[in-house]
Structure 1
Amino acid sequence: MSGLREQKKQETRKTIMEVAKGLFLEKGYEATSTELVARRAGIGSGTLFNYFPSKAELLVEVMRAEFTGMEERKDLSFEVQETAEATVRNYLTKRLEGFSLLEKKLFRELIVASLNAYQSKPEFLQSLMQLDFMFIEELVELLKEVRRLGKLQDHFEVEIAAELIYSSVMFETLIYLYHEERSLEEVLEQTGRKLTFILK
């Protein structure tokens, strides 16, 4: 019985997130109320808050699912290319391609919502930081594999390189989000230039 109950909870959670994603894209974060999300999901507002304590946290979870490439995908398979640089470029292209599916405005609203939520709930920052740490950990594992295969020198410091790559991606992503004319291809191009420096 508990197994069925847990399955039902997971289905409800998934439905809430799918409905919320559609509404955030259609109406924007501010114009999307939790009441509307609950109504479209076929549940009561109180039930929604059992799953997501605030609208900001719901938005973060929706974005987390996008970042990880849908909830059911647990791992990103690493495809090793001829060089370390090509391998990391390929990884970043796959990791960032989901960004193109969502509007820049929604990402900007995520930043604002996160800052607002942090004011009243400081521990909320930990949830956001998990995404950053997950990204860095994936980069570390990828670089370790590339080093193991002899495409990087044995003394190459993968942890430092992963943090530098992450910092470069975040910098270029912020420029992408706040300049309407900036394309995702330019993010990858500019990040690639930094990769050449980091991995040489």
Structure 2
Amino acid sequence: MNGSGSMKGFQDDGMKEELYNRATKLFIERGYEEVTMKEIAEEANLSEKQFVKMFNSKGDFVIELMMEGFSLEEEDAKELERIDLNKAVADIVYDYIMRRLDRYMVFGKKMFKEMMSWSLSLMKKKPALMNKFVQMDFMFVDDLIEFLDELKDKGCFEDNFDSVQAGEVIYSVLAFEFLVYIYQPNHSREQLNNGLKKKLQFILT
């Protein structure tokens, strides 16, 4: 497992969930820059040396941490079972996106700003790690396209609706709203939500 940078080292799902929660709490309280690998290792009841064998760097770990958030969510197969298909389709898609964002929004603006700066430095220093970071965006878009296809199968869209194009456009809107939220000091989470909702209504109505 040396240098693999993977949560697979934790065979028990409960252990992964516990580490996810504890590490997330550390980053929220202290910020990305201030938390050390040693502190994270202690939360996992491991030595720093053992932890480094699993995760080459703090950056590797944070990416695994965020990717683990995808696997800890409920299966998409259950998604349509708990939503009201009689709602406006823009509202259905909005709710879907919010459920996925909520797990990450707990980090707050400070950490997201630090991570944005850190990710830019990866382009030159660690392109492989940067590629892994970008893969999270592709995972999100792929999941969104699959969800749109499921809605299409349920009759929420016309037969000629292009889920791929719509998914990519919706992601672009979300990325824009998220960047505004991060870099505008007075831009609130409520404003982010409202901006996304209005644009979804424009795209999907």
Shifted more, 158-167 versus 114-123: the winner is 114-123
Alignment-derived partner of residue 72 in structure 2: 72
Which residue among 82, 85, 93 is the counterpart of 1:81?
85
SS at match of 2:203: helix
Q: Distance in 1 between matches of 2:11 and 2:151?
A: 36
* SS at 2:35 equivalent: coil
Report 1:153-192 matches (<5 A): 153-192=158-197
The question of whether the paired residues in 1 share the 8 Å contact of 2:41 and 2:51 is answered with yes
- The residue number in structure 1 matching 2:45 is 42
Give unmatched runs, 5+ long, in structure 2: 1-6
Matched, 1:127 2:132: yes
Aligned to 1:25: 28
Deviations 1:73-106 (A, max 9, x none): 3524233532321211221222222244222111
How far does residue 15 in structure 1 lie from its aligned partner after superposition?
5.5
- The answer (yes or no) to whether the contact 1:59–1:110 under 8 Å persists in 2 is no
With over 3 angstroms needed to count, the CA separation of the structure-2 counterparts of 1:8 and 1:110, relative to structure 1, is closer
The structural deviation recorded for 1:187 is: 1.5
Given that residues 165 and 195 in structure 1 are in contact (C-alpha distance below 8 angstroms), is that contact kept between their aligned partners in structure 2?
yes
Taking CA–CA contacts closer than 8 Å with sequence separation of 6 or more, which of the two structures ends up with the larger relative contact order?
2
User: Which residue of 2 is the match for residue 97 of structure 1?
Assistant: 102
Deviation at residue 146 of structure 1 after TM alignment: 1.8
Residue deviations 1:1-56 (CA, integer Å, cap 9, x gap): xxxxx997335665554443232222211111112322343322221112211111
Residues 98-154 of structure 1, C-alpha deviation per residue, up to 9 Å, x if partnerless? 244222111122222222233222111221122111211121112112222222111
Cα shift readout 1:138-197 (whole Å, capped 9, x = no counterpart): 211121122222221111111000000000001001111112322222212111222122
The 3-state SS of whatever aligns with 1:123 is helix
Q: Is the 8 A contact 2:27 2:107 kept in 1?
A: no
Kindly indicate whether the alpha-carbon contact (under 8 Å) linking 2:24 and 2:107 is maintained by their aligned counterparts in 1: no
Contact 1:19–1:40 under 8 Å retained in 2:
yes
Counterpart code for 1:122: P
Inter-CA distance 91–73: structure 2 relative to 1 (3 Å threshold): closer
Counterpart CA distance in 2 for 1:102 and 1:44 is 25
Amino-acid identity (%):
29
Unmatched runs of 5 consecutive residues or more in structure 1:
1-5
Letter in 1 for 2:201: T
Q: Specify the code of the residue in structure 2 equivalent to 1:81.
A: L
Distance 1:151 1:13, change over 3 A: closer
- TM-score normalised per structure 2: 0.81
Equivalenced residue count is 192
Secondary structure of 1:10's aligned partner: coil
Partner of 2:114: 109
